[in-house]
């Protein structure tokens, strides 16, 4: 089992920045890919960014965040990050960290492809 705990959410003004963190513990050697998802009220959960450290560090970004968000990881700290810049009100959502314990899959990976989930951290962007 893997446990994921997010932190770093909060409120920001449009154009501002936030950094989310996700600390992993447990059987982390089983993880092939990690991702950030978000879900706004009355909307479906959507992938924001994905990174596969055991796949050459391949990354994916949703079109809506490309160029503004950066996914990264610190292996020494077992921590995944999401740096969010040039925030927009439409970025307001609950953000979730997720881990995948299988190799391969259809790219971009979807929520059903991830076995492990954090509890989420709220991001609110005001105009």
Nearest to 127 by CA among 39, 14, 10, 46: 14
pLDDT of residue 119: 97
pLDDT of residue 55: 66
62-78 pLDDT, tens digit per residue, is: 999 999 999 999 989 99
**11-53: per-residue pLDDT in tens?**
999 999 999 999 999 988 889 999 999 999 999 999 999 999 8
| 5 bridge partner residues | 23
């Amino acid at each position: 089992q893997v446990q994921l705990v997010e932190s770093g959410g909060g409120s920001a003004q449009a154009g501002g920045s936030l950094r989310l963190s996700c600390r992993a513990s447990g059987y982390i050697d089983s993880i092939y890919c990690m991702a950030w998802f978000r879900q706004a009220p009355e909307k479906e959960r959507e992938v924001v960014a994905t990174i596969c450290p055991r796949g050459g560090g391949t990354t994916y970004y949703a079109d809506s965040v490309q160029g503004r968000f950066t996914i990264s990881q610190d292996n020494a700290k077992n921590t995944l990050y999401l740096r969010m810049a040039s925030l927009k009100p439409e970025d307001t959502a609950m953000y979730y960290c997720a881990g995948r314990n299988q190799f391969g899959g259809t790219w971009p990976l979807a929520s059903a492809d991830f076995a492990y989930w954090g509890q989420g951290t709220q991001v609110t962007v005001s105009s």
